[in-house]
Structure 1
Amino acid sequence: MTFDLLAGLRVVDLSQWLPGPFAGQILGDLGAEVVKVEPPAGDPMRQLGPRDPDGLSAWYKQINAGKTILRLDLKADAGREVFAELLRGADVLLESYRPGTLEKLGFDGKRRVELNRRLIHCALSGYGQTGPLRLTGGHDINYMALGGGLASSGRVGESVAAYPPTADHASALQAVIAILAAVVRQGRTGQGANLDISLMEAVLAWQALPFTSALRGGSQAQVRGQGLLNGGAAFYRLYRTADDRFVSLGAIEPKFWAAFCRAVGREDWISRQAEPLPQDALTAEVAALLAGRLQDHWNDLLSDVDCCFMPVLEPEEVLLHPQIQARGLARAGEGPSVQIAFGGLIDGRAQSPRAAVREADAAEVLATWGEG
């Protein structure tokens, strides 16, 4: 049994790769019925990442679990007719085409309204439906670059790209938020919506704090490796241990920093927390201390100290951690693989395992679509 918060909501998902399919999966996790429409050759994501014996990508199976897959040729009359029927019964259309593609297929705004006045159309694109870059191709690293997500990340003189892809996942969440807000209005007024969500702007939306700091300059400027939250503070950064592993220290509040200093036998550091950024000298001292022992040593010493400390774990270790196991969101799948449930508990329980991704034909889908 999945969650039932969106029970009865019907979503047609035209998206491919990661951002749109992840958004569609979240809606499905919450109870929506999601039919993913793919071209005859299938979503290109089928070929990306590790393959299972059946030839399908394990990544594709993960991100599309819980959905019904319907292959349609939207360049052919028969495929467009089936798609029109789907839109007549849908509440939400999610797509990730380049701007103008849906119009070329014969489903512009006017046509969509004719088919279904209540339809919520969410267009998820790289740079948005307007502007000089609207037709420009890109991937996560490009959207992060323009949206400001790489401006202050990394070390001095070196930028670092995040993994898993930040813009892909952030834009999926942005799309879901907008869709759910539109669903509330749809239920209240019967009105549809046109949602223009871009991957780049999902990143840009997170930049108010670092941009404001950068414009003010001085010690709080978000220069790579020199700001409060990106490596310039000795009390908030990653450190290497003697076994070439890492630990995280996030002791921003003075009480946490003091607890850390006492636990490691360096009470003389307590008064130095307010030193100007970047705290290169203090950071070097802390780094030298932590580099002298194995990660396990520091974890044993600090795990029960209230100082915002956590070892940087490998995937296998994360899955075995008592907190992860207690919450029950990560589960073993086929392949091997790991299925991560919806990120939270609802009514005191975690989401049940998703059904495997399933293909169906048009007759089967439309028969089900017509019920209720």
Structure 2
Amino acid sequence: MSRLNRFISGIRVLDLTRHLPGPLATLLLADMGAEILKIEGPAGDEIKSLGPQDAAGRSLYYEAISAGKRTLSLDLKVPADRERFLALVDTADVLIESFRPDVMPRLGLASHMLRARNPRLIYASLSGYGRDGPLAAAAGHDANYLAYAGALAGNGSVQESSLFYPPIADCLGSMFGLATILGALYARERDGHGCDIDIALADVIMPLQVFSLAELRATGKQPSRSADLLNGGWACYRIYATRDGREMALGAVEPKFWRAFCERADRPDWISRQSDPMPQHELVGEVTAFFADMSQAECVEKFATADCCLAPLLDLREAVAHPHHATRGLVTRA
């Protein structure tokens, strides 16, 4: 067992979350050594009904996201189960839930009430739109959060926007939840107090758009699909199709990488055009034609020793088998 797996050993976490954002956060806490007790209602987690199942009829999604956790079924509307839950709260370090803001208060389990019982408790709420604001009571999923945050407007083709996969707001919300919980645990070591954390999945997308927000504030310009630096308008940072229907991802942002790419492509005339005005339709067309004349395998071979930030687009099976992921031990079972 590595030291990473013992970072927060002894920390007890009550997990009342569902679907992906909260369970992913607690999965990572479990990887760091925390004891996770997943509290489910009588019907269980809704994710059990989603996606494929194994030979025993168990949800593959649920099994993957619940690894390393214990599960306890409690109906928090039933007095006896509620008392059992409160007894668990008394000795817990962290409680994380993903309900809409009114659910826990209606059950008589509001954060301030639980923290009055256990002042060291870190209560983390990971909901769609947070506890206040006009959307606080609204239902939502990843596509909705991205839409409200303006993130979908600058992605996709000129004709239409496109969804992100994996679900970026859900996953980033997990990371924000993880980071704030770890920060709260550190703060508690110094002052002995727990705290109340309110994270909205719709909020976490804004920090990702820091460059676009800075430009919007300074110039009034906002992202335009396939026309800007990082969404397809810049020839050196773009996805290109190959002759065999596969694709290559070019990320030669720095001039030295763009130069290396152009030199290996035997197109030194492209080097000085990296700073052409955007969208770079003409240059994009020329680079598109270059890639279209080769298969993906030929591209990989041609640029194997060129330090130019060019990578083949792999499918998931290929990615899992890739030497990088195998060496790093990122996927232990797939």
TM-score by length of 2: 0.96
What residue in structure 1 maps to residue 192 of structure 2? Answer: 190
Q: Count matched residues.
A: 332
Task: Report the secondary structure of 1:249's partner residue.
Answer: strand
Equivalent pair of 1:221/1:227 in contact (CA under 8 Å): no
Q: Distance in 1 between matches of 2:306 and 2:320?
A: 23
What residue in structure 1 maps to residue 107 of structure 2? Answer: 105
Shift of residue 213 of structure 1? 2.3
What residue in structure 1 maps to residue 316 of structure 2? Answer: 315
What residue in structure 1 maps to residue 225 of structure 2? Answer: 224
Residue of structure 1 aligned with 2:159, choices 157, 162, 182:
157
Deviations 1:87-113 (A, max 9, x none): 001000000011011111111234213
Task: Report the secondary structure of 1:121's partner residue.
Answer: strand
Higher relative contact order (CA 8 A, sep 6+): 1
Sequence identity, in percent? 44
Shift of residue 217 of structure 1? 4.8
What residue in structure 1 maps to residue 255 of structure 2? Answer: 254
**Cα distance, 1:169–1:88 mapped onto 2, change above 3 Å:** same
Q: Distance in 2 between matches of 1:270 and 1:192?
A: 56
Deviations 1:18-41 (A, max 9, x none): 101011111111111000000011
Unaligned runs of 5+ in 1: 333-337, 339-372
Task: Report the secondary structure of 1:158's partner residue.
Answer: coil
What residue in structure 1 maps to residue 264 of structure 2? Answer: 263
Deviations 1:101-160 (A, max 9, x none): 111111123421332111000011100000111000011000011122212111223211
Which residue type is aligned with residue 320 of structure 2? L
**Cα distance, 1:217–1:160 mapped onto 2, change above 3 Å:** farther
Q: Distance in 1 between matches of 2:331 and 2:49?
A: 24
Which residue type is aligned with residue 153 of structure 1? N
Which residue type is aligned with residue 104 of structure 1? R
Q: Distance in 1 between matches of 2:276 and 2:111?
A: 58
Q: Distance in 2 between matches of 1:197 and 1:114?
A: 21
Task: Report the secondary structure of 1:159's partner residue.
Answer: coil
Question: What is the alpha-carbon root mean square deviation over aligned residues?
Answer: 1.3
Matches within 5 A, 1:140-151: 140-151=142-153
What residue in structure 2 maps to residue 281 of structure 1? Answer: 282
**Pairing 1:27–2:25 present:** no
What residue in structure 1 maps to residue 243 of structure 2? Answer: 242
Equivalent pair of 1:249/1:309 in contact (CA under 8 Å): yes
Equivalent pair of 1:213/1:222 in contact (CA under 8 Å): no
TM-score by length of 1: 0.87
What residue in structure 2 maps to residue 89 of structure 1? Answer: 91
Shift of residue 212 of structure 1? 2.2
Task: Report the secondary structure of 1:330's partner residue.
Answer: coil
Unaligned runs of 5+ in 2: none
Q: Distance in 2 between matches of 1:54 and 1:98?
A: 33
What residue in structure 2 maps to residue 125 of structure 1? Answer: 127
Q: Distance in 2 between matches of 1:110 and 1:290?
A: 59
Q: Distance in 2 between matches of 1:322 and 1:208?
A: 33
Residue of structure 2 aligned with 1:65, choices 54, 64, 67:
67
Equivalent pair of 1:215/1:221 in contact (CA under 8 Å): no
Shift of residue 176 of structure 1? 0.8
Deviations 1:156-204 (A, max 9, x none): 2321110011111000100111111111111111111000001000112
Q: Distance in 1 between matches of 2:295 and 2:303?
A: 13
Q: Distance in 2 between matches of 1:15 and 1:109?
A: 15
Task: Report the secondary structure of 1:205's partner residue.
Answer: helix
Which residue type is aligned with residue 326 of structure 2? Q
Equivalent pair of 1:91/1:120 in contact (CA under 8 Å): yes
What residue in structure 2 maps to residue 348 of structure 1? Answer: none
